[in-house]
Amino acid sequence: MIIDKLFERVAKNGHVCVGLDTDYSYLPENFAAKFSSKGEAVFQYNKALIDATIDIVACYKVQIAYYEALGIEGMECYRNTLAYLREKDAIIIADIKRGDIAKTAEMYAKAHFTGDFEADFITVNPYMGMDSISPYLPYVQNNDKGLFVLIRTSNEGAKDIEYIETADQRHVYNVVGEKINTLGREHLGQCGFSAIGGVMGCTHADEAAEVRRQLDSTFFLIPGYGAQGGKAEDIALYLKKGNGGVVNASRSILLAYRKVENGAENFAECSRKEAIRMRDDILKYAK
């Protein structure tokens, strides 16, 4: 199962998930100037970063909005980036955050689990209800695909809905997480985690132990490390015996060269060093 493959990558390479949320403005000017289109420049930048990090990270998350914003050439770049990741046997999380029902959700599943935009996992939004998840399940069951379902996010606005208290004095995100964990038990891998994972921000460390206890078989995609305030010691609280989660980092890796004098000349190596720093920081606490 794809979740077992991800579990094994974490055990081998650590917890880092490189976010290829690549805006054209992030590219070094001298590098970008080599290419005739923004889409081609972004693809070549992604390709260089993938080559530099493939042996030291667990997976890659590709946020589709950055590519949609470039129009047709952006979507070609998105397609080419996914194809290159598959060529390198990388595990791909397509960050599309779809949240709809019935035939529309079926089409989203087909679009992002097959064809030009095929990925291993996709992110989905459950806040329309569990029938917004069910159209994806045949691909999980029959095509070895996986989901990361939004449970508790790392943004400030999470408190607007996710933290509303229910009649039994839980939070909305607790209810959603419980439903996802229960559903996920029907899709367990040999590693003990489900191919139906959850997005779980690490910015509320005080809740981490209870969250991990409640969602015992849910593999986490964890945002919030670094700039949003999450620390490596916080990450460890969301893991089980050092596994069970990957930690996303986007701009800190994509823009690592800007923190180094003359870094633009060796931007991929700067990204590699930042990914290694992050990997090792988390591994110090992930037991």
- Catalytically active residues, by annotation: 97
CB burial class (10 A; 0-12, 13-18, 19+) of residue 43? buried
HEC string of 40-106 equals: HHHHHHHHHHHHHHCCCCCEEEEECHHHHCCHHHHHHHHHHHHHHHHHCCCCEEEEEEECCCHHHHH
Give me the residues paired with residue 152 across strands.
200
d(CA 139, CA 145): 6
Integer angstrom CA distances of residue 28 from 34, 213, 256, 262: 11, 44, 11, 11
In b/e form, how buried is each residue of 253-277, taking b as 16+ CB within 10 angstroms?
A: bbbbbeeeeebeeebbebbbbbbee
The values of phi and psi at residue 13, to 5°, are -115, 0
d(CA 73, CA 37): 8
According to DSSP, residue 250 is labeled S
